[in-house]
Amino acid sequence: MAVTLKQIAEIAGVSRGTVDRALHDRGRVSPEVAERVRRIAEELGYHPNAVGQALARSRKQIKIGIIVQSAETPTMKIVVEGAEQAARALQKEGVEVVIRTMESVDAIQEMLHLDELMEMGIHGLAITPADDAIICEKLNEIADQGIPVVTFNADLPQSRRMCFVGQDNARAGRTAAGLMALMVAQDGKVATITGHLRNDGHRMRCTSFSEELRCIAPGIMTLPIQPCFDRDDCAYELTQHLLAEHPDLAGIYVAANGQHGVCEALREAGRDGKVRVIAYDVTPQNIDEMRQGTISILIDQTAREQGSRPLMLLRDFILYGRRPEHSFCYTGITLKTRYNL
C-alpha cells in the first residue's frame, strides 16, 4: 500500500500541510523539520507522483474533465455549482477544469463526452457514471492509461476507479426505512418512487429501504418500485395512480428526484400531510414543500461537496501523489424537518 502524507505527518508530529511543503520545497518550514520529514519519507519509501511533478516543473496546464448526469435536476444543479466553485479555485493553481453536463442518464451520450475529453488530453476524470457495461469498460481503459478516475453521486464499484465520492446510499436507504417505520402504522402501505433504476445510487437507496423495512416492520406493505426518470410530471402521474389504486396509502419514499410532482399530486387529492413523504436533498423547492407540511423528512447528502471534492482529490493525486485515504469517500447523511431547517 502506498505511503501517504498523513502517515508521514503522524510520525513526524506535524501537519500534513507541513509535510507537503517540506517535500515540495514550498518554504515556511524550518530546516530541522524539513530534514526530519524528508528522512521519514525516505525510510517509509514515499515516492511523489512522477507525472504530477513533471507537469508542475514544466508548468504545463493540468486538465481535469468532469461529467455530470441529470444536471437539470435541482440536486445536480447544486452539484454543478460545487464543481464550478472548485474549478475557479483550481484555475488559480494552473488547473483547467472542463465541465460536461447531461440532461439525463444516457450511456451513449456519456461515451461521446468521454471520447471528447480524452481527445482534449485530460489528466484526470470525475464522473457520475451510467450503470452500463460499456461505461465500465471505458473507465477501465482510461484508468489503464494512468489517468485517475473518481466517481461521484453514482458509483461503478466494479470499475478501476480510484475512489467514489458521495452518500452511503445503502445506509441512507436503511435510515429512511427506520424513519418511515416510526411514522406509519405497522399495517400501512408504502410506495417507493425513484429516478433511474440504472443509476447505482438510486437503485441502492431503494433496495436497502425495502429490505430494511421488511426486516423491522414486516406488517408494512411495500409496493413495487416505480421510476420517474427524475421528472416531476412523471412522478405526479405515478402518485395519482398510486392514490387511486391505494386510497389507504400511508407513505411515499422518494429516493431521487421527482419530489415536487409527488407533492403536487398529494395536494390536489387533499392528502398532503396525511401521506408521509421522505425525500432527499435540501433544495429551495424541497424546503418550501417541507414548510407547507407536504414533505415530512429530508435526507441531505451535501450535494455541493459532491461536485467540488472529486476535483480536489484529483488535483492532489495528479500534482502531489496523494491518494485518497479510502476508496469510498462518503458525504453526510443529514436529517432535516420543518423544525431544524
First to last CA, the chain: 43
* Local structure of 3: helix, strand or coil: coil
* Local structure of 193: helix, strand or coil: strand
Backbone angles phi, psi at 103, to 5 degrees: -75, -25
CA-to-CA distance for 76 and 71, rounded, in angstroms?
A: 5
pTM, two decimal places: 0.78
CA-to-CA distance for 257 and 9, rounded, in angstroms?
A: 42
233, β-bridge pairs? none
pLDDT of residue 57: 47
pLDDT of residue 184: 97
Q: What does the buried/exposed string (b/e) look like for 277-293 if buried means 16 or more CB atoms within 10 Å of the residue's CB?
A: bbbbbbbeebbebbeee
CA-to-CA distance for 5 and 321, rounded, in angstroms?
A: 9
CA-to-CA distance for 163 and 14, rounded, in angstroms?
A: 26
DSSP state at residue 130: -
Q: Which residues of the chain have pLDDT under 70?
A: 1-2, 24-28, 47-60
pLDDT of residue 208: 97
Backbone angles phi, psi at 70, to 5 degrees: 50, 40
pLDDT of residue 3: 74
CA-to-CA distance for 267 and 264, rounded, in angstroms?
A: 5
CA-to-CA distance for 311 and 286, rounded, in angstroms?
A: 27
196-247 pLDDT per residue, tens: 887 888 999 999 999 999 999 999 999 999 999 999 999 999 999 999 999 9
- Which residues lie below 8 Å from residue 340, measured CB to CB, with a gap of 6+? none
CA-to-CA distance for 172 and 280, rounded, in angstroms?
A: 10
Q: In what order do the strands lie in the sheet with 124-127?
A: 95-101, 62-68, 124-127, 149-152, 163-166, 328-330
User: Concatenated DSSP letters for 72-115?
Assistant: TSHHHHHHHHHHHHHHHHHHTTTEEEEEEE-SS--HHHHHHHHH
Backbone angles phi, psi at 254, to 5 degrees: -100, 105
Q: How far from the centroid of its chain's Cα atoms is residue 109's Cα?
A: 20
Strands 297-300 and 334-336: antiparallel
pLDDT of residue 4: 79
